[in-house]
Amino acid sequence: MEWNWKRIPAEYLVANVRLCRDGKLSARPGFLHVQKGRLVALGLGAPTREDLPALDGGGLVCAPGLVDVHVHFREPGQEEKETVATGSRAAAAGGFTAVVTMPNTRPPVDDAPMVRYLLDRAEETGLCRVFPTAAISKGQEGETLTEFGDLVKAGAVGFTDDGRPVMHGKLMQYALQYARMLGVPVTCHAEDTTLAGKGVMHAGYWSTKLGLAGLPRLAEDAMVFRDVELARTTGGHLHVAHVSTRGTVEIIRRAREQGVNVTAEVTPHHLSLDHSCCRDFSPLFKMSPPLREQDDIEAVTQGLVDGVLDCIASDHAPHTAMEKELMFDQAPFGVVGLETALAVCHTHLVRTGKLDLGQLVERMTSRAAATYGLPCGTLEEGGEADFLLFDPDEEWTVQPELLKSKSKNTPYGGQKLTGRVKATFLRGRLTHRDGE
């Protein structure tokens, strides 16, 4: 039957696609059979049913909807930067069907009604699954624990004071103990603020040359070391956000070998850009942790290849154009990343032969979902029909003004990338189609 993009029925087929499952990309074409938002059948070859409308995938890659475990949607409080609706649209455009939101909104997500509010907003928008994390401490002030039990019951999938490192060691210990009881991770934004000082970029050659205050690697490594040891002592699950240094990779590698319950993520920008990008003082390259050196890029890449780092997360951090017009030392930290994540990683990891596409997809789907125990990130019979179609050969140039995100602060503007998301489906429904 005829396929109509405008009227996608409740039951249909996606035919002639290369399925990406369990870390492997099939060489032979296969199909999906979607019924009421679920995958009722999938497999190699041609679909057996001829009475259903069929989308001809034309040999595109069909992968599980991507899962991003680190995004900032800014709602409530900073809707000028992003909202759950615009963030979800950006996620869909990037091939994502599930995201984990960080709690540093204004006010922060530190009680159950806030979690329910976010889930309601996500439901209304309906473009992406949203799994909120909640703050470790009330008001993210680093003093009193939030109501962990109540928050988890409301739907929080983990705890973090992302953006505001937990300097108080005992508080972090208590958080890991409490979270362990509830079966959720504690995520650390690893930064010793006393070592970080007023730093605004990686401490090294370029910070020295530019006269900008440096953020030493040690500010990250020292904190990761402390938190890994706390995880070892408490048995809690520590998730290390946005790993950026060789030292941190080594600490995590050793801890995992010794059986400590630690997982970790790395961002596309820490896999692909280094501190020399700051040479023209552009705040589009200002983020925390900062862009490091080639040696660190090699280490985090190797960590991702080895599985020491579980997954890729964008740390999608929208800021308005006006904020990114400020001087480098005064502009806020962070870059948007949802819409470029897959293409950047495909360009820098797959095209260079470090990972194959199946391995990359695994690190952006099932392995990402596993860090927070999320029920998504796979293509399986009886499962949810969350998937994307991807053209690994299409070349395109990043044009910030075309991003769906409310903010355009991408560090990849003007860069040519290879690989493009052609369509994204959530529960069988189209959430994004390239060019629309």
Partner 1 sequence: MSLRSKDLIGLEELSREEILTILEAAEAFRTIFDRPIRKVPIMRGRTVVNFFVEPSTRTRISFELAEKRLSADIVNFDASTSSLKKGETLRDTAENIQAMKIDMIVVRHSSPGAAAYLGRVLKASVINAGDGAHEHPTQGLLDIMTMRQRLGNLEGRKVTIIGDIAQSRVARSNIYGLTKLGAEVTVCGPPTMVPAAISRLGVKVEHDLRRAVADADVLNVLRIQLERHSQMVFPGNREYHLMFGVTEEVLRHTKPACFVMHPGPMNRDVEISSEVADGPRQVILEQVTNGVAVRMAVIYLLSGGDPRQLGGGVRAGGRGED
Give catalytic residues, as residue numbers. Answer: 315
285 binds partner 1 (CB under 8 A): no
> Which C-beta is closer to partner 1: that of 192 or that of 339?
192
In the chain, the amino acid numbered 324 is K
> Which C-beta is closer to partner 1: that of 46 or that of 195?
195
Mask: binding to partner 1, 118-157, rule CB under 8 A, as x and -? Answer: ----------------------------------------
* Residues whose CB is less than 8 angstroms from the CB of residue 79 and which lie 6 or more positions away in sequence, other chains included: none
> Which C-beta is closer to partner 1: that of 151 or that of 203?
203
Which residue from 50, 325, 401, 436 is in contact with partner 1, where contact means CB under 8 A? 325
330 binds partner 1 (CB under 8 A): yes
Q: CB of residue 172 vs partner 1: minimum separation in angstroms?
A: 25
Q: CB of residue 200 vs partner 1: minimum separation in angstroms?
A: 9
Burial class (CB in 10 A: 0-12, 13-18, 19+), 39: buried
> Which C-beta is closer to partner 1: that of 44 or that of 327?
327
End-to-end CA distance of the chain: 24
Say if CB 414 and CB 107 are below 8 A apart. no
Say if CB 101 and CB 317 are below 8 A apart. no
Distance (Å, whole) CA 354 – CA 258: 26
Using CB under 8 A, which residues numbered 187 to 206 contact partner 1?
197-198, 203-205
> Which C-beta is closer to partner 1: that of 27 or that of 322?
322
Which residue from 31, 148, 178, 328 is in contact with partner 1, where contact means CB under 8 A? 328
Which region among 164-172, 320-328, 344-352, 386-394 touches partner 1 (by CB under 8 A)? 320-328
295 binds partner 1 (CB under 8 A): no
250 binds partner 1 (CB under 8 A): no
Q: CB of residue 211 vs partner 1: minimum separation in angstroms?
A: 3
Using CB under 8 A, which residues numbered 262 to 281 contact partner 1?
280-281
> Which C-beta is closer to partner 1: that of 50 or that of 194?
194
245 binds partner 1 (CB under 8 A): no
Say if CB 286 and CB 212 are below 8 A apart. no
Q: What are phi and psi of 11, to 5 degrees?
A: -130, 130
* Tokens (6 digits) for 318: 């929208």
Say if CB 51 and CB 27 are below 8 A apart. no
10 binds partner 1 (CB under 8 A): no
Which residue from 133, 137, 187, 207 is in contact with partner 1, where contact means CB under 8 A? 207
Which residue from 28, 259, 322, 414 is in contact with partner 1, where contact means CB under 8 A? 322
Distance (Å, whole) CA 417 – CA 290: 22
> Which C-beta is closer to partner 1: that of 72 or that of 275?
275
Say if CB 352 and CB 304 are below 8 A apart. no
Which residue from 1, 181, 326, 402 is in contact with partner 1, where contact means CB under 8 A? 326
User: Which residues of this chain interact with partner 1, rule CB under 8 A?
Assistant: 197-198, 203-205, 207-212, 214, 280-281, 322, 325-330
